[in-house]
Amino acid sequence: MLRTIPRTFAAINKPSAFSGLRYKHTLPALPYAYEALEPYISGEIMKIHHAKHHQTYINNLNAAEEKLGSAFKGNDVNEEISIQSAIKFNGGGHINHTLFWENLAPGNKEIPKPSGELLKEIEKTWGSFDQFVSKFNTQTAAVQGSGWGWLGYNKEFKRLEIATTSNQDPLKPTTGLIPLLGVDVWEHAYYLQYKNVRPDYLNAIWHVINWKTVTDRFTKAHK
């Protein structure tokens, strides 16, 4: 389950207590070592992906929010509008990666499967777990350029759906679906190990999916 994104407080020189606080996003710690997902995702990729790429999204999000705060104070609507794309891109990168780390876990030689109500819903929707994986991989491999593959929950129609998003667009604000499982298909997530063969990465990642986390998200979403 996506937890509240950790934040810290930094003082700035403003007269009121409220304006004297600035909220800063921070990099969430991983619940496993960088090398724990090997051989399916290398420790080198995990370290660069988490410590460099995710940290960069956070740094840029903090900077964009600081600029947005200044624009609000200056009543500069043009500047407020111009900053929105940076907030969407970097904020989406922060949200997406936080979800991604949490729905991964140390690997298994056999591909793990969900159980209970989630498995029943997957089988009802796609016929079998294997057919779901095949459909997910096909749609996600077809993402043009950079983006994400998702298993989401549609609360309106009470059903599971596979979706893709471009760049760092977050699933819920973009589609309305509640994210249950997200897979990063930016090349930085796999290129050092799988080169440009995205389907091989997608086949491998099922060995390290944390179905407990995905099931917890499903349980909360469909209540």
Binding residues are 49, 97, 184, 188
Residue (of 114, 101, 109) closest to 184 by Cα position:
101
Binding annotation for Mn(2+)? 49, 97, 184, 188
223/212 Cα distance (integer angstroms): 17
